[in-house]
Amino acid sequence: MTDTEKSDEYVRSPNAFTDRITADGSSGWPVEPGRYRLVVSLACPWASRALVVRRLLGLESALSLAVTDPIQDERSWRFTLDPDDRDPVLGIRFLSEAYLARDPDYDGGVSVPVIVDVPSGKLVTNDYPEITLNLETEWTALHRPGAPDLYPEHLRAEIDAINEDVFRDVNNGVYRAGFAESQPAYEKAVYPLFARLDELERRLQRQRYLVGDTITEADIRLFTTLVRFDAVYHGHFKCNIRKLAEMPALWAYARDLYQTPGFGDTVDFDHIKRHYYQVHRTINPTGIVAVGPDLRQWLTPHGRETLGGRPFGDGTPPGPPPADETVTPLEVAGSTAA
């Protein structure tokens, strides 16, 4: 491959702030209920991971939530969904303000999810792979009774290996296909994406979850890409060799998770579709939002119970989401006004 072709490939920027919040405080950021604020976009698959984990572990009262507008402007993520266009806890209009509070000289990208220290207003971390692992392993004293073990110690090596493959070929693969700037760069991404999906299809034909017989971090990371696949990645990102709905095991698996408390109740298709179709103007210059597919199919029976498995292991399902964290109903998200 030539240097010109290489430059046409999409390369994800590294996370700039990678501090951890630890139970013993040795990192300088101790776990404390109410001290930190999780900032997400409901459109973003990387942020959606943190939303699902926070719900499953019952951390809503310990870690408050800020939701950005799905439509960014030149200053990136903004709090225009809140009164006076400011986050009511942090008092800022743009997420970039928390980045600059941490590093006044920072001139990189502004990404979600992040965790912000409320007293100082400083960003703690935007390291999305570690945010969920941190919530699972360091915040255990604040987990709800009956919280599932999403990162069991005896399965971590297998979970990590699957996560690496899924990130490279699927989670990031859809972006590498969608933002490719040449035919060779696009094909270099799209063929491994579907090869990995085919491998996952075969794996999930024989077992309900990716690792073991319960939901783990691996399922959460795959789900947040699958739930966006037919709605945006298939058309908008040209990941159109097959639809998710044409891969029987993966489609049933995704519906199984969607219908599990803590998953579908964090998914807002309205935010997802408006963000991808209206923000990525280099891909979709008109900003027209596709009206399909029929999102009600996410509520159809999946039949995965026949494979056994215990979704929450020895734990229990989370309760309903807080009233102020409910998402747009599927009927609205699937309408022409989405």
Around Cβ 304, how many Cβ atoms within 10 Å? 22
Q: pLDDT band at residue 121, thresholds of 50, 70 and 90?
A: very high
Annotated binding site for glutathione: 77
* Distance between CA atoms of residues 253 and 305, nearest Å: 10
pLDDT of the residue at 330? 78
- Looking at the structure of the chain, the number of domains it has is 1
Q: Which residues are catalytic?
A: 44, 175
The CATH number that applies at residue 16 is 1.20.1050.10
pLDDT value at 305 more than 70: yes
Q: What is the pLDDT of residues 5-45, one digit of tens each?
A: 456 999 999 999 999 999 999 999 999 999 999 999 999 99
Triad 264, 266, 45: Cα angle to 5°: 100
- What does the pLDDT average to over 71-76? 91
Q: What gap in Å lies between CA 240 and CA 110, rounded to an integer?
A: 29
Average per-residue pLDDT for the chain: 95
Is pLDDT of 333 > 80?
no
pTM for this prediction? 0.95
Q: In terms of DSSP H, where are the helices of 229-293?
A: 248-258, 269-279
Contact yes or no for 220/49 (Cβ under 8 A): yes
Q: Report pLDDT for 248.
A: 98
| Binding residue numbers | 77
Residue 75: predicted pLDDT: 87
DSSP, collapsed to helix, strand or coil, labels residue 37 as: strand
- Pair of tokens at residue 100: 């600059």
pLDDT recorded at residue 212: 97
SS3 179: coil
- Cβ atoms 247, 222 nearer than 8 A: no
**pLDDT at residue number 269:** 97
Residue 201 belongs to domain spanning = 1-338
As a whole number of angstroms, the distance between CA 22 and CA 29 comes to: 6
